[in-house]
Chains A and B, each alone.
Chain A
Amino acid sequence: MAEAKVESRVHGLGHSRKRVEDARFIRGQGNYIDDFKLPGMLHLDIVRSPYAHAKIKAIHTENALATPGVLAVIDGPTLQKYNVHNMPTLMSDIQMVLPIDTVKYQYQEVAAVLATDRYTAARTAAVEVDYDPLPVVVDPFKALEPGATKVRDDKESNHIWHWEWGDKDKTDQDFNEAEVTVKENIYIPRIHVASIETCGCVAKWDAVNTHLTLWMTSQAPHAIRTVVALITGHLGLSEEKIRIISPDIGGGFGGKVPAYPGYVIAVAASIVTGAPVKWIEDRTENLAADSFGRDYHITAELAGKKDGTLTSLRFKTIADHGYTDAAAQPSKFPAGMFHICTGSYDFKSAFVEVDGVYTNKPPGGIAYRCSFRVTEAVHAIERMTDVFAQKIGMDTAEIRMKNFIKPEQFPYKSALGWEYDSGNYPAALRKAMDMIGYDNLRKEQAAKRARGEFMGIGISSFTEIVGAGPSKDFDILGLKMFDSCEIRVHPTGKAIARFGTKSQGQGHETTYAQIIAEELGIPAEHIKVEEGDTDTAPYGLGTYASRSTPVAGAAAAMASRKIRAKAKQIAAHLLEANEEDLEWETGRFFVKGSPDQGKTIQEIAFAAYTNHPQGMEGGLEAVNYYDPPNLTYPFGSYICVVDIDRGTGEVKIRRFVAVDDCGVRINPMIVEGQIHGGLTMGFAPAMMEEISYDENGNIHGANFMDYLLPTAVETPKWELGETVTPSPHHPIGAKGVGESATVGAPAAIANAVVDALAHLGVTTIDIPITPRKVWEVLNVHGATLEE
């Protein structure tokens, strides 16, 4: 365990070091996927289905092929010849690359046009497809009814799996004996990460050397390499012949983890033509076909006592997975980490059930800045805690303080089996209450309510679960979820460090160097950080689910410590001293009691190549593959204050205080930036974003005029606070922070809105909380005002 400290000389932990990667980005010199242009490169565009469910009767390619510049049209039967028309999902299901005869959702890939330039390739309408529309099912509850339209011909029904976890008998018994129970239906809608850069790739097949280079928007290049090898191994494309390069990525948020059909088609097209092939999605393709997030229908129940003690939790969930179960989540649990849903509270018993369902919608499920369903879990428990408090007439801060897992209970084993590493929940909530002036706000609320003004205060005291993950619970196709760091210290004492992760804006080039600087005393500006090239970086599982700092950050510290151990041997040799007589200070070993007699890390590095002890290998390098002993559990308390316009239903967020505890902070500036962005991606689904479908499976929300991202005008002005509770098992005590705010914020906002309406008898409102939805609630209760 390490305390945060500012080591300004080497720009180590705790230093708000300015970002290294900015230099190219502020000059417009980033290297994003669409910036790549190779000689002879062809362009690929995709023909997509207008129907959510249809038989393909015929694909007419004549007009397209007659268009000057069009070289080929690739369809499912073309790929079937090579047996790459389907690909396996991480959930042991099947995803079509291109269909043979049936499409299962609107905008599904049907065929691909290959042309000499992007405008010609974009003439996908020249490919005429005859469809025979089939009945559509978009509502997962209807999909489970007897006689429902079957989404999948190869399955018995639309029911994918049933998963349950916890002690059902004890939970039922606790509910039966409870003084108070509450129950609500909570829908957490389908949303999309909508990173400003869409997905794409450039595939380059070298037939002479039988080698594939694939530049692509991937958050997990190594995992993709292995997946490509598994899909195409039967064609001789084995793993040493595949190089995946993730260049600069314009936002990921989980949406760039999966292997999408477009990548596979581009690879196939390059192999068939022998030319490099570029595929870049447009925004509609991105929103309508790429991996979504959420879509959980939760029936949530809590049991407890009249004094506010929560005793038992029972959640039953219908999970809409679309036409195939392609959730890119590596846990051994079908619903990911949903069973973190007891949250920050000390429940005696709990039981969760989840049923996965097929519908005529695109696949996905977990991609939205979230560690595998923790957002759904947090939203449900934080909403329900308020519902319980409301029922017994208790203050929502008080019920949290009463039920928090106490600081002295850590490490804490939850009723659903997770072992929380560390936490101090009352301190974070207390701090948030002090920052926002909680008691005065409650007084103001009472006064306003008396004169008919609706104001609400909402709290979310979330606990996250990140850093996937310990290999006992996590793997991708059997690959353990470790991550890696390789450090090479050059003779002049400078270094290069390579990682198995891949930044998409998190600032790894800056922060990883700070970890190594802290451990080795080499100034951060002398450490070059590289990621994203599978030919050079050590194997790792990538950046998502807030795992880079918990896993690869730990690997950086552990690899540094290996180097320091060797450096100590060299220092002892140079100083003609015993190793045990040496002491370390940042960047230097010296003889105990004789601080003048010492060797700097730079002197030692030079000696590692010029004057190392006889019998020792030369060089100063190390690699570490870190398999974390446990997950990390960042937490925080957020408080939101809203005012509601009774005329329009508009909700105005007046203040939002976010106190985050992510353990030791490597770079406070970057941590705060992550929290600002995370809060905004929590605000977005709480207030604006939803991808819905009509009964025919037509998507609502396939462009930025229908799917509303927050602009600078709507986005609240965030107020941040912090507490620091280090992770006891992480080498530098850090926990990860990229997603906490997205996980914790929606419940604070929803709780504030319900709190503003609670005196009307309102107990729940589903996100996104649009003015219309609020106005309708007001109207039902006769509480609207004419302007």
Chain B
Amino acid sequence: MSRHHISVTINGKIHAADVESRLLLVHFLRENLNMTGTHIGCDTTSCGACTVQMNGTPVKSCTVLAVQADGMEVKTIEGLAQNGNLHPIQEAFHEKHGLQCGFCTPGMMMTSSALLERNPHPTEDEIRHAISGNLCRCTGYMNIVKAIQYAADNMAEGV
């Protein structure tokens, strides 16, 4: 198995490592770097629990190789809060009861925070389509949608 030297900027910090070519980004984060906030739910790009942002775009890290992240900026759930202040999407999920078991939550927040970056005022339909690659078995999505709307409103007001 060939090994590769990669350098990935994760939540603003550079992580250099020698990795096997088969190593998945999600395992690089979870096993090599002990960043366990990114979860694994299906291994087939279906559930979205492993969603992280790569250069600002949500990707499912269970089907991205670590070597593909070489030179990229990766943001994970651990990087959402800044200087101890929660990101508005984190506040919103708490405020609107947008989570129950919490397992899909990091991926759901990485997808929705990326949505709000590119579309600060999404309609409900746009929100529902944006998170349709993130499965949640607990909430029925109602309060997740409300949370994303709430975060959009707060970000617009600069709260």
Contacts and interface: CB of A to CB of B under 8 A. Distances in A.
Interface of A: 18-19, 21-30, 32, 34-35, 37, 118-119, 193-198, 248-253, 282-284, 504-507, 669-670, 672-673, 676-681, 703-705, 709, 711-713, 715, 717-718
B37 A677 contact: no
B91 to A, nearest CB: 8
Given A22-B93, A194-B137, A712 B39 contact: no
Contacts of B47: 196, 283, 704, 709
A672 B146 CA distance: 13
B140 A676 contact: yes
Given A28-B76, A505-B138, A250 B102 contact: yes
Contacts of B133: 711
Contact of B132 (A196, A507, A711): A711
Contacts of B135: 196, 704, 709, 711
A252 B137 CA distance: 10
Given A197-B39, A703-B44, 15 more contacts: A26-B86, A27-B80, A27-B86, A28-B36, A34-B40, A35-B30, A119-B27, A283-B43, A506-B100, A670-B97, A679-B140, A681-B137, A705-B44, A713-B128, A715-B140
Q: Which 10 A-B pairs have the closest CB atoms?
A: A28-B37, A250-B103, A25-B102, A505-B101, A28-B77, A704-B46, A505-B100, A676-B140, A680-B140, A35-B36
22 contacts: A19-B94, A21-B102, A22-B93, A22-B94, A23-B94, A24-B102, A25-B102, A26-B90, A27-B77, A29-B37, A32-B103, A34-B39, A119-B23, A194-B137, A197-B49, A283-B41, A283-B47, A673-B143, A676-B140, A703-B42, A705-B46, A711-B131
B142 A718 contact: yes
Interface of B: 20, 22-23, 27, 30-31, 34-44, 46-47, 49, 76-78, 80-81, 86, 90, 93-95, 97, 99-106, 109, 127-129, 131-145
Contacts of A27: 37, 77-78, 80-81, 86, 90
Nearest to B46: A704
B137 A198 contact: no
B86 A712 contact: no
Contacts of A32: 36, 39, 103
Nearest to B133: A711
A26 B41 CA distance: 17
Contacts, number: 174
Contacts of A283: 41-44, 46-47
B39 A718 contact: no
A249 to B, nearest CB: 7
Contact of A28 (B38, B94, B97): B38
A680 B144 CA distance: 13
B132 A713 contact: yes
Does more than half of chain A's interface fall in helix, strand or loop, or is it mixed? loop
Contacts of B81: 27
Nearest to A709: B135
B80 to A, nearest CB: 8
A10 B9 CA distance: 46
Nearest to A679: B140
B129 to A, nearest CB: 6
Contacts of A119: 20, 22-23, 27
A314 B137 CA distance: 35
A117 to B, nearest CB: 8
Contact of A673 (B39, B95, B109, B139): B139
A745 to B, nearest CB: 10
A255 to B, nearest CB: 10
A676 B139 contact: yes
A662 to B, nearest CB: 16
Nearest to A503: B101
Contact of B139 (A197, A198, A677): A677
B101 A712 contact: no
Nearest to B108: A712
B140 A196 contact: no
B100 A196 contact: no
Among A194, A703, A711, max chain B CB count under 10 A is at A711
A25 B99 contact: yes
Contacts of B145: 712
